[in-house]
Structure 1
Amino acid sequence: LKTHLFGDIFERDNLDWQSREIATVAMLAAMPGVEPQLQAHMRISMNVGLTESHLRQLGQVLADRVDADSATRAHDALDKQ
């Protein structure tokens, strides 16, 4: 999974940087134990133009479609930014 996430997604040129960061943040939030990387990608997401509102909405999507733990990890990482 990590090879796919950090290799294939970023190697391709069919997604813009914001979309790549949304995919990365979502995948990292779904994986326990990678909170430092998640926090780093929250910061990177903001550097490529995503707003706090966008990232909060992503957290809500995770809560609705994945699970509460993923959403909590995403919100916690965002709160630290």
Structure 2
Amino acid sequence: LFKSFIRLLILFIFKKDSSFKLCINYYSFNKVIVKNYYLLFFILKILNRIFKIKCFFKINFKKTYYYVKIKESN
């Protein structure tokens, strides 16, 4: 058997249509894991970079490859 110090509460809740739904309580697991508090800082940094950009380009290379004109000298 597996040996773990984390215990999760697992319940099956019966619904009106006689099926059941699996419910897991992650409370004890969430107390043990290490949270990354720096993520918000990086998200804000990326958003600041995005909002400074003036225009965006989206090119579908599969469809437009043969329509792009390039000089023969290039």
TM over 0.5: no
Asked which structure has the greater RCO (Cα within 8 Å, sep 6+), the reply is 1
TM-score by length of 1: 0.22
TM-score (norm: length of structure 2):
0.24
- Structure with greater Cα Rg: 2
Higher helix residue share: 1
| More strand as a share of residues | 2
